[in-house]
Structure 1
Amino acid sequence: MLQSNASFVDTRKVLVEQIDKKIEELDRSPYWDWEVNDESAYPPSFYCQFQMFAQLNPVPKEITQSDLLDYEKELADPQGISTVKPPPPLLSAELYSPNCQLLLSIDKEPGIKIEKYYRKAVAYAGMATAIAIIQIFALIHQMEFTPTPSSVSNVSYWTIAIQAVMDGYLCLLHLTTGVVIENVFIPFATAAFFTFILVSIFGMRYLLVVWRIQRPESIRPTVSEQQQQQQQQQQEESTDASENTLPTANIRRPPTTTTEEVNAILLLGLFLFYQSITRSAFIQNVILGTLGIFLYSFWVPQIVRNIWRGCRRPLSHTYILVMSITRLSIPLYFYGCPTNLIGHETSSWIWAIVAYVGLQVVILLLQDAFGPRLFVPSRYLPDTYDYHPILTTNIDEETVQQEIGQPKDCAICMLPVDVANHGHSGLNVLTRANYMMTPCHHLFHTECLERVSEK
Structure 2
Amino acid sequence: MSGTPEPADTERGDVREEPMPRRQRSVLPSFLFISFVLFMITNNGGEEVSQRTHLLDLLDGIDHQIANYSAWLNGTAPENFTLPVQDAAVMPLVDSLMTFGSQVDPQSAAYYTNLTGFWRGDVRFHNLTNLQSNESSPLPPWHTFSDDLVSRANLTNATEFASRVGSWNWTRSDKVQISIGDKFMWDEGEHRNLSKDIAMIHGKIDFSDPEGSEELRLEIGGVHFVSNGTIYAFAEPLRRGVDIRNLPMLVPPAFMNETAHIVEAELIARTESMKARVEAGTIGDPSEDDGPKVGCSFQFLGQILRSDVPLALLKEVEDEIQEPTGISTIHAPDMKLQGVLVSQNCGILYELPDISGMKSQTLFRKITSYAGIATLMNLLLLALHARQVTRSRSAAGLSRVSRYPFIIQTLIDAVSFVGHVTLAILAEGRTSIAVLAPAGLACILFVQEAQFAIIIGQIQAPEDVRPATRPPAQPAPAPAPEPTAPNTQPESAPATGENNAPAPNAQPPVPTITTTPPRPSLLRYLYDHIRSDPSARMWFIISFFLLVVFRLVIALSVPLLFIGALYGSMWLVQIYRTIRRGRASGLAAEYLIGVTVCRLYYLLYFLGCPKNVLDIETRPWVYGIALFMVAQVCLILMQAHFGPTFFLPRGVVSIETYDYHPPMPLPDPEAPEQSLGDCAICMDAIVVDPVLRQHLDEKSEGHSLSRRTGSLLAQGARKSYSLAPCHHLFHTACLERWLAIKNICPQCRRPLPPL
Q: Quick check: 1:323 aligned with 2:405?
A: no
1:148 Cα offset (Å): 1.3
Q: Give 1:446's aligned residue.
A: none
1:385 Cα offset (Å): 7.8
Q: What do the CA deviations read for 1:68-92 (whole angstroms, capped 9, x no partner)?
A: 4443332233222223333021112
Q: TM-score scaled by structure 1?
A: 0.68
Q: Which moved more, 1:69-78 or 1:150-159?
A: 69-78
Q: 2:419 aligns with which of 163, 173, 176?
A: 173
Q: 1:13 aligns with which of 95, 111, 130?
A: 95
The 1:399/1:140 distance shift into structure 2, 3 A limit, reads: farther
Q: Give 2:404's aligned residue.
A: 158
Alignment of 1:110-189 (within 5 A): 110-183=356-429, 184-189=431-436
Q: What do the CA deviations read for 1:1-58 (whole angstroms, capped 9, x no partner)?
A: xxxxxxx99772278987424448999xxxxxxx99x975743562443211012223
1:307 Cα offset (Å): 1.8
Q: What is the DSSP-based 3-state SS (H/G/I as helix, E as strand, rest coil) of the residue aligned with 2:358? A: coil
Q: What is the DSSP-based 3-state SS (H/G/I as helix, E as strand, rest coil) of the residue aligned with 1:111? A: strand
Q: Hey, what's the Cα distance between the residues in 2 that align with 1:439 and 1:304?
A: 34
Identity %: 25
Q: Quick check: 1:195 aligned with 2:195?
A: no
Q: What do the CA deviations read for 1:360-385 (whole angstroms, capped 9, x no partner)?
A: 21221222122223326425415658
1:299 Cα offset (Å): 0.8
Q: 2:628 aligns with which of 356, 374, 378?
A: 356
Q: Give 1:43's aligned residue.
A: 162
Q: Hey, what's the Cα distance between the residues in 1 that align with 2:427 and 2:614?
A: 13
User: Which structure is higher in helix share?
Assistant: 1
Q: Quick check: 1:254 aligned with 2:500?
A: no
Q: Aligned partner of 1:213: which letter?
A: I
Q: Hey, what's the Cα distance between the residues in 1 that align with 2:625 and 2:346?
A: 44
1:150 Cα offset (Å): 1.1
Q: Could you tell me whether the CA contact under 8 Å between 1:129 and 1:195 is conserved in 2?
A: no
1:125 Cα offset (Å): 1.0
Q: Quick check: 1:404 aligned with 2:712?
A: yes
Q: Quick check: 1:381 aligned with 2:654?
A: yes
Q: Hey, what's the Cα distance between the residues in 1 that align with 2:544 and 2:365?
A: 37
- Number of residue pairs the alignment of both structures matches: 357
Q: Quick check: 1:56 aligned with 2:180?
A: no
Q: What do the CA deviations read for 1:189-233 (whole angstroms, capped 9, x no partner)?
A: 111122222222x32342232133223346688x9969xxxxxxx
The 1:103/1:126 distance shift into structure 2, 3 A limit, reads: same
Q: Hey, what's the Cα distance between the residues in 2 that align with 1:21 and 1:179?
A: 45
Q: TM-score scaled by structure 2?
A: 0.42
The 1:71/1:21 distance shift into structure 2, 3 A limit, reads: closer
Q: What is the DSSP-based 3-state SS (H/G/I as helix, E as strand, rest coil) of the residue aligned with 2:400? A: coil
Q: Hey, what's the Cα distance between the residues in 1 that align with 2:91 and 2:307?
A: 18
1:349 Cα offset (Å): 0.7
User: Which structure is higher in strand share?
Assistant: 2
Q: Could you tell me whether the CA contact under 8 Å between 2:297 and 2:343 is conserved in 1?
A: yes
1:94 Cα offset (Å): 1.2
1:146 Cα offset (Å): 1.5
Q: Could you tell me whether the CA contact under 8 Å between 2:316 and 2:329 is conserved in 1?
A: yes
Q: What is the DSSP-based 3-state SS (H/G/I as helix, E as strand, rest coil) of the residue aligned with 1:182? A: coil
Q: Hey, what's the Cα distance between the residues in 1 that align with 2:540 and 2:390?
A: 28
Q: Aligned partner of 1:125: which letter?
A: A
Q: Could you tell me whether the CA contact under 8 Å between 1:89 and 1:112 is conserved in 2?
A: yes
Q: Which runs of 5+ in 1 are unaligned?
A: 1-7, 28-34, 227-251, 278-283, 388-397, 407-436, 443-448
Q: What do the CA deviations read for 1:79-128 (whole angstroms, capped 9, x no partner)?
A: 22223333021112111121233332223532111111111111111121
Q: Hey, what's the Cα distance between the residues in 1 that align with 2:649 and 2:162?
A: 67
Q: Which moved more, 1:186-195 or 1:286-295?
A: 286-295
Q: 1:79 aligns with which of 295, 302, 325?
A: 325
Alignment of 1:219-368 (within 5 A): 254-255=533-534, 256-274=536-554, 276-277=555-556, 284=557, 288-368=560-640
Q: Hey, what's the Cα distance between the residues in 2 that align with 1:139 and 1:75?
A: 40
Q: Hey, what's the Cα distance between the residues in 2 that align with 1:215 and 1:440?
A: 29
Q: Which runs of 5+ in 2 are unaligned?
A: 1-89, 99-140, 166-293, 472-528, 661-705, 721-732, 741-755
The 1:300/1:438 distance shift into structure 2, 3 A limit, reads: farther
Q: Aligned partner of 2:433: which letter?
A: I
Q: Aligned partner of 2:533: which letter?
A: P
Q: Could you tell me whether the CA contact under 8 Å between 1:269 and 1:291 is conserved in 2?
A: no
Q: Hey, what's the Cα distance between the residues in 2 that align with 1:175 and 1:261?
A: 24
Alignment of 1:423-442 (within 5 A): 440=718
